[in-house]
Amino acid sequence: MRKTVAIDGPAAAGKGTISKAVAQHFGFAHLDTGLLYRAVGAKVLQGIDPVEAAKALTAEDLEADNLRTPEVAQAASKTAVVADVRAALVDFQRAFARRAGGAVLDGRDIGTVICPNAEVKLFVTASAEVRAERRYLELSGKGHSDTREEVLADVKARDERDMNRAEAPLKPAEDAVLIDTSDLSIEDAVAKAVAAITAKD
Ligand code: DC
């Protein structure tokens, strides 16, 4: 089945968890498009030009072990405003979306720009406080020393930049199904996503 599921939303809303779970449920391939921007951001922190980095991105770059740090997240969000960086990443994402067995892509502009014809579009969100608390727990679990306040400020700064940029800003597609995970367990959030995807059969 060639079905494309586009899942967008702000940082730490639960997109990644939901995307992995629904990909597994339906047997679709999954692409976390944030990793592309994080890999470019990590290169920029090493002094490489963002557009050159985006054009030369390889599969190994997506496996670098520092991509989940707050520094790389901010660098990713900053490079993601550059139109030529975004343009360099479009073909790869669209080719992935057209995989024969079905594909789930999660990011910020999948339903609006990358796959406007996706069969299913979800917009996963949650309050900034809930998202910051989740990210704080994730980071402190990995030994990072960032405080709750720092993590909340980081989340808000990224929301602000991602939603207000000129190029492919974060916003729900007109036909997206909204899922607010603020008060949902992971199981309930995944069940809502599965139901929304099944409903589009
Ligand atoms: O989903 P994430 O937190 O890994 O994304 C990191 C940054 O990359 C995010 O703050 C904005 C950017 N991004 C984007 O602009 N478009 C996407 N499709 C995915 C991520």
Q: What is the pLDDT along the chain (201 residues), one digit of tens a residue?
A: 669 999 999 999 999 999 999 999 999 999 999 999 999 999 999 999 999 999 999 999 999 999 999 999 999 999 999 999 999 999 999 999 999 899 999 999 999 999 999 999 999 999 999 999 999 999 999 999 999 999 999 999 999 999 999 999 999 999 999 999 999 999 999 999 999 999 987
Q: 5: which strand partners?
A: 104, 120
The alpha carbon of residue 104 and the mean position of all alpha carbons in its chain are separated, in whole angstroms, by 11
pTM of the model: 0.96
Alpha-carbon dihedral sign for residues 116, 31, 135, 150: negative
Pocket test for ligand 1, best of 5, 162, 165 (most atoms within 8 A of CB): 162
Residues with CB under 6 A from ligand 1: 11, 33-34, 37-38, 73, 76-77, 80, 107-110, 158, 162
Other Cβ atoms less than 10 A from the Cβ of 143: the count is 6
Contact between residue 197 and residue 5 where contact means Cβ atoms under 8 Å apart:
yes
- Interacting residues of 46 by C-beta distance below 8 A, sequence separation 6+: none
Ligand 1 centroid to Cα of residue 143, in Å, is 23
